[in-house]
Copies of this chain bind each other. A is one copy, B any other.
Amino acid sequence: MTIRQDTQLADGRDLFYYDSQPGQDRSAPDLRLDLPAVSTSSEVRWNPLFRDYSVIAGHRQSRTYKPPADLCPLCPSRDGKLTEIPSSDYEVAVFENRFPSLSLKAAATVPLVDAPPFQSGPGDGRCEVVCFSSKHDDSFAQLSPTRVRTVIDAWADRTEALSSVDSIDYVFCFENRGEEIGVTLSHPHGQIYGYPFVPPRFYRAAEAARRFRERTGDCLQCRLLTAELDAGVRIVTESDGWVAYVPFAARWPYEVRVVPREHVPDLPALSDELRQDLATVYRDALRRFDLLFGAPVPYIADWQQAPVRQDRDVWHLAAEIFTIRRAPGKLKYLAGSESAAGIWINDVTPEAAAARLRGDEPSA
């Protein structure tokens, strides 16, 4: 059972504590009385050439950049050091980002522009930080299954809450890990973005799923899962409820999809059993990444949930985990083909990647 306690930081931002058992005192107030109000000029601009959105967040250039460990803003507030989390301990804590790319407050300052070809509007969404552990040197793969379950419940709870906000069309839970992908705070944490649109990559996925359903009556992701299980060579690990596999057309050197066998649209729709099972499978998948090269790898892990208001019936939940490390000491960079043409060149075959993630073959 996950218990939530709600509070606010000194500047009015929301903070939610999630605990695995009742009776935790999370009432400590935020004592940073001089905390300046969050400012935002987040703007969403439409690019008609590529039918794409960009988020312009000019106010973020001055955000916290690799603070020393003893000034980590995600550690609990202890020994007179005041952080983003007033409590002296916590299990999982979620709060509004102090330097948000998207903010529900943007509507007050950013105008709507509808003068084609120029179209833009406020970045009327939400950016939240999810702290997975109060221990600064912890990592997701090292969390206990109980803690992973609490994180899953927090993701699901925040997805439900953000889905009820009028301007938010997509809730995106993700974790960036590692300096190599630009993570400026090493404390184990993820993020939740509530986008005021369906991101194009997921919009196209919804479109593909809907067309497949119309043509065949089936779910595309269910069909793919069955095909992957039949093929076998790209399966990494599986359980009663979940399968982790390297996709046939993987973009990244090591990339895994974690998919429920059941056709479920999003995290809030997961049953108690599926959440419990996921806690084990997801942690297992992350651990396999860190075993690849004998050292923690930089990775991105993200949840592909159904859009809030469209195509929910055809959408099948999945997590995607990938690393940009392609070999010891070597990273996969996004250069011309990837960044400009949108075509990933992958130097590791998905079958070899799966064998290495299973532990059947050495990778280094």
Contact = CB atoms under 8 A, between A and B. Distances in A.
A58 B49 CA distance: 34
A231 B116 CA distance: 12
Nearest to A216: B116
A86 interface: no
Interface string A258-298: 00000000000000000000000000000000000000000
Nearest to A211: B51
Contacts of A172: 336-337, 340-341
Interface string A199-225: 111101101110010000000110110
B101 A337 contact: yes
Given A300-B335, A335-B182, A348-B61, A251 B220 contact: no
A208 B205 CA distance: 18
A176 interface: yes
B61 A212 contact: no
A29 to B, nearest CB: 32
Interface stretch (A40-48, A68-76, A136-144): A40-48
Interface residues of A, number: 79
A147 to B, nearest CB: 21
Given A341-B202, A345-B55, A49 B221 contact: yes
Contact of A339 (B205, B300, B327, B331): B300
A349 interface: yes
A342 interface: yes
Given A182-B331, A343-B195, A350-B56, A118 B248 contact: yes
A19 interface: no
Interface in A205-255: 205, 207-209, 212, 220-221, 223-224, 227, 231, 247-251
A340 B207 CA distance: 17
A352 interface: yes
A194 to B, nearest CB: 12
Contacts of A48: 208, 212, 220, 224
A336 B170 CA distance: 14
Interface string A302-340: 100000000000000000101000110011111111011
Contacts of A247: 47, 49
A101 B345 contact: yes
18 contacts: A47-B249, A49-B224, A49-B247, A53-B249, A54-B249, A54-B250, A55-B344, A57-B347, A58-B352, A61-B327, A118-B227, A120-B249, A193-B337, A195-B341, A200-B342, A320-B340, A334-B334, A334-B339
A322 B334 CA distance: 13
A344 B54 contact: yes
Interface of A: 45-58, 60-61, 65, 101, 117-118, 120, 172, 174-176, 181-183, 191, 193, 195, 199-202, 204-205, 207-209, 212, 220-221, 223-224, 227, 231, 247-251, 300, 302, 320, 322, 326-327, 330-337, 339-350, 352
Nearest to A304: B340
B300 A336 contact: yes
Given A48-B208, A60-B345, 8 more contacts: A45-B249, A49-B208, A54-B344, A57-B347, A101-B337, A174-B340, A201-B342, A302-B336
Contacts of A191: 336
